[in-house]
Amino acid sequence: MDADVVVLGTGASGLAAAAASADAGAGVVLLEKGSTVGGTTALSGGVVWLPAVTPGDSVPAALRYLFALAQGSADDELLRTFVEQAAPTRDWLHERTPLRLRLVERYPDYHPEHPGGRPDGGRSYEPELFPTSDLGQWADRLGGAVRRLRIGEIPSGGGSGVIPDELMRERTDRGVEGLGRALVAGLLAGCLKHGVEPLLEQRAVRLLVDGGRVNGVVAQTSAGERTFVARSVVLATGGFERDPGLVRAFLRGPISHPPGASTSTGDGLRLAMTVGASLGGMPNAWWVPVVLAAHDVSTLLLRERTLPGTIMLNDSGRRFVNEAANYNALGAAFHAFDVTRFRYANDPAWLVIDEACVRTYGVFGHRPGDAPGWLRRVESVAELAAAVGAPESTVRATIEHWNRLVDAGADADFDRGQSRYDGWCGDQRHYGTPAATLGSLGRGPFYLARVYGSALGTSGGPRTTLDGQVLAVDGRPIPGLFAAGNAMAAPTGMVYGGAGGTLGPALVFGRLAGRAAAR
């Protein structure tokens, strides 16, 4: 036996599983296919949605909220486990790893007006800044790019994104980081503390099975195939959004330019399928619209579509959705189908930004008044219509109608600004009113970007028991096989409860799976 437990993947779910297994006394081997640690988690904002943790929140309230949203897409008992285990998971992380999570003040749930929803926040946490120098040689093995800010300091968290030079120098000197890399760093430090060091560039390609029990894996390495015999294997390999064949086979609609890790090719899904796993939630993903920024880098479109003075148009020159809705819900609008023209009606779409918006707020990380060069500039409504490829009269009518709605203070077409969430990334001076996101468009110039329906990650995969053990097609648990994170059928189904809606379940079920695998 090489280990008690082999964990595949070093994202949030894999690191939590490895630390929890080791903490429970197991000998753990942690394999990572990439050359760095952290997968998509390292690229992420690192926000973690943990319900029923903050004083004033409760298990019944969180369940009311999730049950109302799930509409049959999730297993009630998995939802209950998630909610009940959120606080113990946060406590365990604080007691047994160096990771510290802090509440992002006021961050509203993504559907805060639903029963049990929280308009004034209380469920979205972020990692405290982490001194990556504490990781020693592992500091250079974190995936993604250095980001030294907290969510609360960036524009979508209510900050400016600009912090004093002296403070930034201090953070740089100490290698202090925030966001997703801080989450990975804290979890990795937890693994190292429990004696688990990731083995990089080791891609699991086959499960070992003996008498119906999974008892290890074969990994591809630069030195050839390597076998790891163990009592249990945890699949924490992320989603399958980077495998076009799996995307075509399973997702409910197309996605383009997925912004997550290139290693999310569904390896865990394939491994589970080879041993007869039952699959769940396969059409679902954590949807998000993206734009292609400089050098065609796929960039989440979060803030700019919610700022006053912006709208989104489809190729027909019409608005089609509440632009300020949460990104996961917005995915459905990109999969709307035009049955007459037999094509996706709104994918790709156009983001239209008014000159006053650029001047007032600054967009895509640029200072107010300075539009990034990769945005296309057009001078007039006529040029805008030509760029979009729609009749000028339609585009003009759309803008005039929108401006009338703005003047009336309510988006009677799509309810933009009705939810408290809609204004979160908008104009903070008007937060809590529709004016935080409603703003008229002038005559030009305008700035344009193509907007694509995409996904932060897929969320379907092998179905599991309440502690993450993979179920076979006959409904029985497969001995020795566990799954967590985006590699498992999401315990929350199609629901993205609030900021951190994927990493919250990834940590909770990572810990549960790791602990159960160690038993």
Ligand X SMILES: Cc1cc2nc3c(=O)[nH]c(=O)nc-3n(C[C@H](O)[C@H](O)[C@H](O)COP(=O)(O)OP(=O)(O)OC[C@H]3O[C@@H](n4cnc5c(N)ncnc54)[C@H](O)[C@@H]3O)c2cc1C
Would you tell me which residues interact with ligand X (CB under 6 A)? Answer: 8-14, 31-34, 39-41, 43-47, 203-204, 236-238, 259-261, 263-264, 267, 286, 300, 456-457, 485-487, 500-503, 506
Task: Output the CA–CA distances (angstroms, integers) from residue 351 to 323, 337, 376, in the order listed.
Answer: 9, 19, 10
Cα(504)–Cα(100) distance, integer angstroms: 14
Pairing outcome for strands 461-462 and 298-300: unpaired
292 beta partners: 298
Q: Which is nearer to ligand X, 199 or 332 (CB)?
A: 199
Q: Which residue's CB atom is positioned nearest to ligand X? A: 11
Surface-to-core class of residue 436, CB atoms within 10 Å of its CB (0-12 exposed, 13-18 middle, 19+ buried): buried
In whole angstroms, the minimum distance from the beta carbon of 217 to ligand X comes to 8
In whole angstroms, the minimum distance from the beta carbon of 42 to ligand X comes to 7
Q: Which is nearer to ligand X, 97 or 314 (CB)?
A: 97
Q: Which is nearer to ligand X, 123 or 194 (CB)?
A: 123
In whole angstroms, the minimum distance from the beta carbon of 270 to ligand X comes to 9
Q: Which is nearer to ligand X, 352 or 484 (CB)?
A: 484
At 214, list the tokens: 């999974």
Q: Would you say how long the chain is, in residues? A: 519
Closest CA to 8 of 508, 483, 467: 483
Q: Which is nearer to ligand X, 128 or 415 (CB)?
A: 128
In whole angstroms, the minimum distance from the beta carbon of 291 to ligand X comes to 13
In whole angstroms, the minimum distance from the beta carbon of 501 to ligand X comes to 5
Cα(221)–Cα(228) distance, integer angstroms: 12
**One-letter amino acid for residue 339 of the chain:** V
Q: Which is nearer to ligand X, 264 or 437 (CB)?
A: 264
* Three-class HEC string of 338-359: ECCCCEECCCCEEEEEEHHHHH
In whole angstroms, the minimum distance from the beta carbon of 510 to ligand X comes to 7
Pairing outcome for strands 279-280 and 461-462: antiparallel
8 A C-beta contact, residue 468 and residue 202: no
In whole angstroms, the minimum distance from the beta carbon of 181 to ligand X comes to 11
135-139 contacts at long range (C-beta below 8 A, 24 or more positions apart): 135/185, 135/188, 135/189, 135/192, 138/37, 138/188, 138/192, 139/175, 139/185
Q: How far is CA 2 from the centre of its chain?
A: 34
At 325, list the tokens: 């809705």
Cα(314)–Cα(327) distance, integer angstroms: 17
In whole angstroms, the minimum distance from the beta carbon of 160 to ligand X comes to 19
8 A C-beta contact, residue 234 and residue 518: no
Q: Which is nearer to ligand X, 327 or 344 (CB)?
A: 327
At 290, list the tokens: 């993206």
Q: How far is CA 55 from the centre of its chain?
A: 25
In whole angstroms, the minimum distance from the beta carbon of 459 to ligand X comes to 8
Q: Which is nearer to ligand X, 325 or 399 (CB)?
A: 325
Q: Which is nearer to ligand X, 312 or 513 (CB)?
A: 513
Pairing outcome for strands 285-292 and 298-300: antiparallel
At 157, list the tokens: 């968290």
Pairing outcome for strands 3-8 and 337-338: unpaired
Q: Which is nearer to ligand X, 279 or 300 (CB)?
A: 300
Q: Specify the residue for token string 């002296």.
A: 166
Closest CA to 345 of 381, 408, 390: 390
In whole angstroms, the minimum distance from the beta carbon of 7 to ligand X comes to 9
In whole angstroms, the minimum distance from the beta carbon of 138 to ligand X comes to 14
Q: Which is nearer to ligand X, 111 or 318 (CB)?
A: 111
Would you call 442 helix, strand, or coil by DSSP? coil
Q: Which is nearer to ligand X, 398 or 486 (CB)?
A: 486
Q: Which is nearer to ligand X, 42 or 357 (CB)?
A: 42
In whole angstroms, the minimum distance from the beta carbon of 203 to ligand X comes to 4
Cis status of the peptide bond prior to 259, with omega within 30 of 0:
no
Cα(489)–Cα(278) distance, integer angstroms: 9
299 beta partners: 291
In whole angstroms, the minimum distance from the beta carbon of 212 to ligand X comes to 22
Q: Indicate the DSSP class of residue 284.
A: -
Pairing outcome for strands 3-8 and 203-210: unpaired
